[in-house]
Amino acid sequence: MNRRPLTLLIAAAIVALEGLVALGLGVYVAVETLIGKPDDMTTAAAEAGFGVLVGAGLLWVAWGGLFKMERWGRAPGVLTQIFMVPVAVTLIQSGQPQLGIPLLVIAVAGLATLLAPPTTHALYGDG
């Protein structure tokens, strides 16, 4: 049970990538809020804070949960992928397939690797 299967490593990498993107977008919004003139400072600050918190949370799930083979890491990872599917579909339907299609592919790959039998065995054992 010490060896991490490839599916678990890929899942951790996908969740970490999602965390880095969310963190980066949160920091970007924060910087733009500070140097620009947002229409609503409260909303801009809340969006920046939310992005930073989500990004940090996903990085924690990827490293502290999935990479370290902790059982608790799978549930937030799966939930994140499930939430990404309707976002991706909405992007595709709103005329932004260049964003929606890669997001959908990443979400499906994340779900597939998080729910793969080797990942389940590594996190939960034979029982």
51 found inside a domain: yes
Residue 102 is assigned to a structural domain of this protein: yes
Work out the widest C-alpha separation in the chain, in whole angstroms.
56
- Has residue 34 been placed in a domain? yes
- Tell me the residue range of the domain where 10 lies: 6-124
Percentage above 70 pLDDT, the chain: 98
Record the tokens describing residue 35, joined without a space.
């140097």
Is residue 75 in some structural domain? yes
Is-contact 73 113, C-beta < 8 A?
no
> What's the number of domains the chain is made of?
1
Place of tokens 């940090």: 56
The whole-number pLDDT of residue 1 equals: 47
77: in domain: yes
Flag whether 1 is in a domain: no
pLDDT of 2 > 80? The answer is no
- Residue 71, burial from CB neighbour count under 10 angstroms (0-12, 13-18, 19+): exposed
